[in-house]
Amino acid sequence: MSVLREATEDDLEAIRAIYNQAVLETTSTWDHQTRSVADQEAWYAVKAAAGFPLLVAEDAGQVVGYASYGLFRSHAGYAHTMEHSVYVHPDHHRKGLGRALLSALVDQARAHDVHALVGGLSADNAPSLALHAALGFREVARLPEVGRKFDRWLDLVFVELVL
C-alpha cells in the first residue's frame, strides 16, 4: 500500500539514494555528480527554512519517491513562481506514485499562494513529459542543446501550470 506524507530529516538518506540513482543513470537531472550527505542536508535546510513542501511517497513502508519545489529565480518579482521536481525510484514506476506526488505538490502550491509552477524537463524524458501533460502542465518553451550529459547535447523543455 502506498502513503504520501511530509518528509522529515529521517527521510534524507532515502531521498539521496533516489536522486543519486537518477544522477548516475538518467538525463532526468543534468547533475553529473552524486549528492553527498552534506549536500543533501544543505538542500533540506533550504527547503525547511523557506517553508517549501517536501513530500515523500512510501510503498510497503519504504520511501520510494519524493517531490518538492523551490524558487524558480531569485529576483523578488519571481516570488510567486516555483520550479518543482518529482522523482520515483525506477523499481516503483507506473504505480501512480508520480501522479500522486505531483498532484499533492500542486495542492500544496495552491495553499501557499504560489501562482505558477514550472518544470524544466529533458526533452528525451518521455515519462515526465507525459506525467506533466496528464496533470495539465503546458509546454511553454523548448531550448535546443542547452544541456550536456553522457556525451550528448540535451534539449530543455519548460512546462508550466498557472494556478
Ligand X SMILES: CC(C)(COP(=O)(O)OP(=O)(O)OC[C@H]1O[C@@H](n2cnc3c(N)ncnc32)[C@H](O)[C@@H]1OP(=O)(O)O)[C@@H](O)C(=O)NCCC(=O)NCCS
Give dist(CA 117, CA 139) in Å, integer: 12
Angle at the Cα of 110 (from 161 to 85), degrees rounded to 5? Answer: 55
The residue count for binding ligand X (CB under 6 A) is 23
Q: Is 130 in the site for ligand X (CB under 6 A)?
A: yes
Q: Is 148 in the site for ligand X (CB under 6 A)?
A: no
Q: How far is the CB of 129 from ligand X (least distance, A)?
A: 8
Q: Residue 68 interacts with ligand X (CB under 6 A)?
A: no
- Least Å distance between CB 112 and ligand X? 19
User: With respect to ligand X, which residue has the nearer C-beta, 2 or 76?
Assistant: 2
| Comparison of 77 and 161: residue with beta carbon closer to ligand X | 161
C-alpha cell recorded at residue 117:
509552477
- For the chain, the C-alpha Rg in angstroms (whole number) is 15
Question: Rounded to whole angstroms, how far apart are CA atoms 82 and 103?
Answer: 15
* From 22, 63, 106, 161, residue interacting with ligand X (rule: CB under 6 A): 22
- The rounded distance, in Å, linking the Cα atoms of 66 and 132 is 15
Q: How far is the CB of 55 from ligand X (least distance, A)?
A: 12
Distance CA 9, CA 70 (A): 18
CA dist., res. 150 & res. 17, Å (int): 20
Out of 128, 154, 157, 159, the residue judged to bind ligand X by CB under 6 A:
128
12 binds ligand X (CB under 6 A): no
Q: Strand pairing partners for 148?
A: 153
Residues within the interface to ligand X (CB under 6 A): 22, 26, 28, 85-88, 93-99, 119, 121, 125-128, 130-131, 134
